[in-house]
Amino acid sequence: MSSTPASIHSGDFNGIPAWRIDTPAARAAVSVHGGQLLAWQPAGFDEVLWCSPTTRRPPQAIRGGVPVCWPYFGRDGQPVDAPQHGHARISAWQFVDAVEEDDAVVLDLALPPDPRTPLRLRQRLRIGAVLEQTLITRHAGDADIVFTQALHSYFAVGDLRQVSVSGVDGLRYADKFDGNEYEQAGDWRLDEPRDPGRSDRIYADAGARFTLTDPVRRRRIALETRGSRSLVIWNPGEAGAAAISDLPARGWREFLCVETANAGTDIVRLSPGAEHRLGQRLSVSTL
């Protein structure tokens, strides 16, 4: 790391080996394990991402931040012993390069090649007052291939029961709790009458702009997506959280996952030598 900018250094984040970024515009941490953005705090704001204080440690998956789900979302027809959400989030990533710009630091990471897939993955993070995160998938094989993926963002919230997400009104979504499809009416809220208190939805043919409004923390998180036609909104709710060993009892009220994804029917097909980019842009403003 001696050739990297002074704003980046190797350290740890809550005991997890990480690259730490510290600039006048923002602070952040990216785990070596999983290539996972664990923290992003633009100047003048509280931490934007949530990490479970009881998360498992490497080599197991880390709960929180922005897990990289790749080269499949969930298990998507994989064998029962396949790692949930793929191997990218439980593998050590490699540092490629870092560059300081006037208002941000750009960090490039790579997932080492794996014999289980001919796909190759790199990640670019532009960290400043605005966060830009991109997964770059390249097909190094000799036959067409399909894959799914997600940036599984855990956003920190003051009280999930008061949070809303706009940009989904009128969208069709697959509810993974019952396997059926429905149409969203209005903003997403936890207390929706049809299935209150939890959420595991894949919105299809989604737009590219969404806003999470948090009246307790008095802020809005704007999400812009690229290379995606689907959006996932997930929180297990109180009952579901009780069955998750690395969530504290009331932790479910402290986050909402709003995920930039290619999931459900939104499957990416690549020909040999082709490339696909999935990206998100995050910004924060006060209410």
Q: Is residue 152 annotated as a catalytic residue, yes or no?
A: yes
Angle ∠(224,155,122) on CA atoms, nearest 5: 60
Q: Is residue 9 annotated as a catalytic residue, yes or no?
A: no
* DSSP assignment of 193-212: TTSTT-EEEEEES--SEEEE
Selected catalytic residue, list 224, 259, 275, 276: 259
Selected catalytic residue, list 33, 85, 152, 254: 152
* DSSP assignment of 2-35: TTS-TTEEEEEETTEEEEEEE-SSEEEEEETBTT
The residue to which tokens 């250094």 are assigned: 9
Q: Evaluate the CA torsion angle 66, 257, 214, 236 in order and state its sign.
A: negative
The residue to which tokens 């990490």 are assigned: 51
Backbone φ, ψ for residue 170 (5° rounding): 85, -5
Catalytic residues: 152, 259
